[in-house]
Amino acid sequence: MSPARGGCPGLRLVVTRLAVHEESTMHDHRKLGRELGLFDTDPLIGAGLPYWLPDGAAVRHSLEEYVRRLERRSGYRHVNSPVLGKRDLYEISGHWAHYRDDMYPPMDVGGEQLVLRPSLCPHHALIYRSRGRSHRELPLRIAELGGMYRAELSGVLGGLSRVRAIHLNDAHIFCTLDQVEAEVAAALAMIRQAYDALGISPARYRLSLPGDGGKYVAGNWDRAADILRSALDGLPYDAVEGEAAFYGPKIDVQIVDSAGRESTLSTVQVDFHQPEQFDLEYIGPDAAKHRPVMVHRSIIGSVERAVAQLVEVHGGAFPGWLAPVQLRLLPVSEAEVPYAREILNRCGDVRAEIVAQGSLGARIRDGRLVPFQAVIGREEVAAGQLSVRLRDGSRVDAQPAEDALASIREAVRVP
Ligand SMILES: [Zn+2]
């Protein structure tokens, strides 16, 4: 298997198998994802092209909302750019020369060759270049949760962790050389903050350097690697040769799946190459033109791989804000269904459902992954109350329905 020298950021799965801890409780996301109705595939759509069912889409949208909020609070501006670009664009960026094996063949459209993009970097470089830039605008942080494509061989595809159509949480920071180290450190801090909120933890940090015989561009690799090394100061990490992107070294945050396979989720990269290729400039305080540095970074990697990891780590018992269903209303009998409907209408942003069929015990067991369940009997209806059960089986005393809903809304708010 070829090493991760690909586009931004390297999502290439590494074949190293780490020993899975014996009492590991991780689940295979492919099996659990289907059981929970999160995603599926169809041979007519094709391998490596999963579709998201409503519950999976709810998890994914909450994750995307979280990331966009985190980025907005951290000084990023969001953009949207197309998933296609002319072949010439990737000739300039270097992807055509260094990364073509992982790209889909060009499509001939009206005498032009269009390709599905293998990364978002070139589009963002052009957005930067779309007008003159002053040093006062730097660091300029451009973020996008956008589509990109990788021509993976069918033998390596699996569930959400190896796919052909990828939605990447990507961003590019255009900054002066003096600002690079602080930007890399800030990106690492965002990664730690996001992992805390998601309840996942890195297996290790990796400093990915170029190796022998790789298809790497010429450039100032040592300086970029030194910047990354100093941002990693104080964190345990391994330096690994042969894992860099073709245009620069990177910090990879590695995760391990239920089978003990290691892969890259998050990444921070320093790039002197693409600013040169796209002739990016800013006007400095000296009124002269200068070249910015490009920092590529992804906080949660691809949405697909992030959700695969969340399913495996939590076994479907997602943190409340990510749970596809956050509240289940369980009327004891048909007589309580109208009250349950009234409560459902007052749920607002809380993702809630009524489950009225089957024995109460079976319904409670079926909902064991749902953060909140409320059994609705005659007393609750008469008093206008809700009695809430938590996932661990503990119960909250009956309280006025509006108070219970307010607590649940607070508990499932996207952090
Ligand atoms: Zn990039």
Tens of pLDDT along 282-297?
999 999 999 999 999 9
pLDDT tops 70 at residue 5: no
- Domains of the chain (ranges; CATH) run 29-314 (3.30.930.10), 325-411 (3.40.50.800)
Tell me the helices (H) and strands (E) count for the chain, helix number first: 13, 20
Share of the chain above pLDDT 70, in %: 93
By the CB criterion, residues less than 5 angstroms from ion ligand 1 are 8, 121, 296
pTM over 0.85: yes
pLDDT tops 60 at residue 399: yes
pLDDT band, very low/low/confident/very high, at 19 (cuts 50, 70, 90): very low
Distance 82 CA to ligand 1 centre (A): 15
Distance 116 CA to ligand 1 centre (A): 15
Distance 231 CA to ligand 1 centre (A): 19
Residues 6+ apart with CB under 8 A from 118: 6, 7, 90, 95, 99, 102, 103, 148, 149, 150
Distance 180 CA to ligand 1 centre (A): 15
pLDDT value of residue 7: 45
Q: Is 389 helix (H, G, I), strand (E, B) or coil?
A: strand
Distance 89 CA to ligand 1 centre (A): 14
What tokens appear for 313 in the block? Answer: 């780590």
Share of the chain above pLDDT 90, in %: 83
pLDDT tops 80 at residue 118: yes
If phi over 0 gives left and psi between -120 and 50 gives alpha, with beta otherwise, what is residue 264? beta
What's the residue count for the chain? 415
Q: What is the mean pLDDT of residues 16-41?
A: 74
Q: How far apart are CA 411 and CA 402, in angstroms?
A: 14
pLDDT band, very low/low/confident/very high, at 135 (cuts 50, 70, 90): very high
Q: What is the mean pLDDT of residues 258-280?
A: 93
pLDDT band, very low/low/confident/very high, at 181 (cuts 50, 70, 90): very high
Q: How far apart are CA 292 and CA 4, in angstroms?
A: 25
pLDDT tops 60 at residue 365: yes
Asked if 3 and 242 count as a contact pair (C-beta separation under 8 A), the reply is: yes
Distance 319 CA to ligand 1 centre (A): 30
Distance 126 CA to ligand 1 centre (A): 12
Distance 379 CA to ligand 1 centre (A): 58
405 or 157, higher pLDDT: 405
Distance 247 CA to ligand 1 centre (A): 10
Residues 87, 89, 90, CA angle at the centre, nearest 5°?
70
Chain-centroid distance, C-alpha 399: 38
pLDDT tops 90 at residue 211: no
Q: What is the mean pLDDT of the chain?
A: 91
Name the burial class of residue 244, with classes exposed (0-12), middle (13-18) and buried (19+) by CB atoms within 10 angstroms of its CB: buried
Distance 271 CA to ligand 1 centre (A): 9
pLDDT value of residue 11: 41
Q: What is the mean pLDDT of residues 204-222?
A: 83
pLDDT value of residue 221: 85
Distance 10 CA to ligand 1 centre (A): 10
pLDDT value of residue 1: 32
pLDDT value of residue 13: 41
Distance 308 CA to ligand 1 centre (A): 22
Distance 51 CA to ligand 1 centre (A): 25
Distance 331 CA to ligand 1 centre (A): 51
Tens of pLDDT along 312-326?
999 999 999 999 999
| Residue 26: HSE in the Cβ half-sphere, 13 Å Cα cutoff | 22
What tokens appear for 149 in the block? Answer: 């494509």
Distance 33 CA to ligand 1 centre (A): 30
pLDDT tops 50 at residue 190: yes
pLDDT value of residue 87: 96
Distance 171 CA to ligand 1 centre (A): 7
Name the burial class of residue 345, with classes exposed (0-12), middle (13-18) and buried (19+) by CB atoms within 10 angstroms of its CB: exposed
